[in-house]
Amino acid sequence: MQGSKANALDAFGASTGLSVTRFDYMAHGQSSGDFMRATISTWLEDAIAVFERFTNGPQILVGSSMGGWLAMLLNRHLRSKGIATVKAMLLIAPAVDMTRELVPKRFTAEQLTTMKETGHIKVPSAYSKEPYIYTQALIDDGEQHLLLGQPIKTDCPVHIIQGQQDPDVPPTHAQRLLQHLILNEAYLTLMPDGDHRLSRPQDLVKLTAVLNSLVQE
């Protein structure tokens, strides 16, 4: 929640008089917890708890990468409960269904075997000195949260911002997601030289401009 995108959203809220809620999922950032035990279900429970505790009135859900998938899962959960307070969603390089569509495809057969045998693997990160840890539990749990394969009903506008130079969530994945969002308004903005993080000054300007347009709707 101390990343540049989250800080830009906080600054936008301060300048417009809107409340902004930021949080770190379990075992991320300032949140405690054992990452080896965390799954998509775990982090969805976090999102639900934060939403129920700290939100009031119309909301815009914003999520980046895995957070984009979780924003969509949170919206689905809220709709299933008859809660219609999500006004729009802003997704940045959303890694929807990443445990099936993205993560396993990065690994060799040997790595996949190791993960099944030991429960996890560690791989170098392009964004940190610490390696990424992927667990078999994460992959297995993701199967109950898949969205792709049928039209996705959101009951609100969705705007996706995607970098065309993203090595982690390729533009084709965002385009595929857009093809599933046929029941409600959906938009895709491509940043030709944008990477996965989309945290450059020009990316943050685009982020706040899109957010402002969603606020105004």
| Section 40-47 average pLDDT | 98
**Has residue 66 got a pLDDT over 80?**
yes
Position 161 scores a pLDDT of 98
Residue 53 resides in a domain:
yes
- 90: burial class by Cβ within 10 Å (0-12, 13-18, 19+)? buried
pLDDT tens, residue by residue, 127-164: 777 888 999 999 999 999 999 999 999 999 999 999 99
Residue 164 domain boundaries = 4-95+151-216
pLDDT tens, residue by residue, 18-33: 999 999 999 888 899 8
Whole-angstrom distance between the N-terminal and C-terminal Cα of the chain?
Answer: 26
Residue 106 resides in a domain:
no
**Has residue 126 got a pLDDT over 80?**
no
Residue 205 resides in a domain:
yes
Position 35 scores a pLDDT of 86
- 118: burial class by Cβ within 10 Å (0-12, 13-18, 19+)? exposed
pLDDT above 70 as % of the chain: 100
Query: Closest Cα partner for 69 from 113, 101, 37, 38?
Result: 101
pLDDT band, very low/low/confident/very high, at 78 (cuts 50, 70, 90): very high
| Section 68-96 average pLDDT | 97
Query: Closest Cα partner for 3 from 28, 33, 38?
Result: 28
Instruction: Report the DSSP pairing between strands 120-123 and 132-135.
Output: antiparallel
Axis-axis angle for helices 4-16, 201-216 (nearest 10): 40
- 42: burial class by Cβ within 10 Å (0-12, 13-18, 19+)? middle
Position 132 scores a pLDDT of 86
Position 49 scores a pLDDT of 97
**Has residue 93 got a pLDDT over 90?**
yes
Residue 133 resides in a domain:
no
Residue 58 resides in a domain:
yes
Residue 201 resides in a domain:
yes
The CATH number that applies at residue 193 is: 3.40.50.1820
**Has residue 214 got a pLDDT over 90?**
yes
pTM of the full structure: 0.94
Look up residue 56 and give its two tokens.
Answer: 């009031």
Position 29 scores a pLDDT of 85
pLDDT band, very low/low/confident/very high, at 60 (cuts 50, 70, 90): very high
Q: Which of 28-37, 157-166, 176-185 has the lowest mean pLDDT?
A: 28-37
pLDDT band, very low/low/confident/very high, at 72 (cuts 50, 70, 90): very high
| Section 120-126 average pLDDT | 87
Compute the distance between CA of residue 79 and CA of residue 95 in angstroms, rounded to an integer: 21
Compute the distance between CA of residue 62 and CA of residue 116 in angstroms, rounded to an integer: 33
Residue 109 resides in a domain:
no
Per the structure, the count of domains in the chain is 1
157 to 90, 144, 153, 185, 186: CA distances (angstroms): 9, 25, 10, 5, 6
Residue 102 resides in a domain:
no
Determine the residue type at 180: H
